[in-house]
Amino acid sequence: MPLVLVVDDNEEFAADLVTLLEMRGFAARAKGDVRQALDLLDDDPSISVVVSDVRMPAVDGLDFARVLRHRFPKLPVILMTGAPINKDDVLPRGVLILEKPFATTQLVDAINACLVDSTQ
């Protein structure tokens, strides 16, 4: 069963997303910030996909995705945002972005696509 790491400073939203993913057959864990997420990634190599919010305090999801590309180059990353991506945002390569609100099926489809891509 693929393990999805959800990273969002809104703990209630992250918990709800974990529940939705588990109902769709994924194992999922949530972390409230980038530092906690990186600690978990260092300790648990079974994480298959990272789903992260873009707008978070301290380190945003765009910078987090760049760190992930450097430290875990094959780990798929999906970013979620409720605020529009603007011309000043530098988007990391190979990162899928979902705009909130999105349907659960959109997220599940994105995760499944990432899992297929990572095995090829």
Which domains does the chain show, CATH number per domain?
A: 3-118 (3.40.50.2300)
24 pLDDT band, cuts 50/70/90, is very high
Q: Is the pLDDT of residue 93 over 90?
A: no
Cα 12 to Cα 18: distance, rounded to the nearest angstrom: 10
pTM for this structure?
A: 0.93
Q: Please work out, in degrees rounded to the nearest 5, the angle formed at the alpha carbon of residue 30 by the alpha carbons of 27 and 32.
A: 170
Q: Is the pLDDT of residue 103 over 70?
A: yes
